[in-house]
Amino acid sequence: MSGPLRIAVVCLGNICRSPMADVVLESKLADAGLSDVVHVDSAGTGDWHVGEPMDPRAAAVLTDHGYDPSRHRAQQITPSWFGDHDLILTMDDANLDDVTALARTPQERRLVQKFRAYDPVARPGDDEVPDPWYGGPEGFVAVLRMIERTADAIVERVPSLVSDVTD
């Protein structure tokens, strides 16, 4: 591999779940001394929030838990992301279907997985990161806990993920 492992996390609008995952994963990678080994981006499948900051409720939960959400600006995933990323992790089945539909080749489709594929407690039927948009603050906290747990597992798997990309 000529550069860092490039991971994208994707949700619907790129203002709640995927930017939370981006911020948390980057923080945990930095804590593990892996910032130079892995680069993280986030995007949404829709374009209606492009250029906007993170949802204030998501940003508040991140801030309350010691993360810095301030630099996020929403962007939309495009087919070019397949050439720019080694792994594209989606938050739910609808995102998985939408992102997979953007893939132009079987090789690109293989880059797409659900984010919680790395969650040690995920199981069939309970492998999505729920969208907290319509709920209260407790939904954002629950999503953060799910993301933190999954991000920890991804950080632990970085050596094998790097190996998978170079093979």
pLDDT class for 2, splitting at 50, 70, 90?
Answer: low
Residue 129 identity (one-letter amino acid)? V
pLDDT score of 3: 84
What mean pLDDT do residues 24-31 have?
98
Per-residue pLDDT tens over the stretch 96-137: 999 999 999 999 999 999 999 999 999 999 999 999 999 999
pLDDT score of 163: 84
Domain definitions of the chain by residue range = 5-162
What mean pLDDT do residues 68-83 have?
97
**What is the model's pTM?**
0.96
DSSP the chain: --S-EEEEEEESSSSSHHHHHHHHHHHHHHHTT-TTTEEEEEEESSSTTTT----HHHHHHHHHTT---TT----B--TTHHHH-SEEEESSHHHHHHHHHH--SHHHHTTEEEGGGG-TT-BTTB-S----TTS-HHHHHHHHHHHHHHHHHHHHHHHHHHHHHH-
Instruction: Report the percentage of the chain scoring pLDDT > 90.
Output: 93
Q: Which CATH number is 5-162 given?
A: 3.40.50.2300
* Strand partners for 44: 11, 76
pLDDT score of 19: 98
Residues belonging to the active site: 11, 17, 131
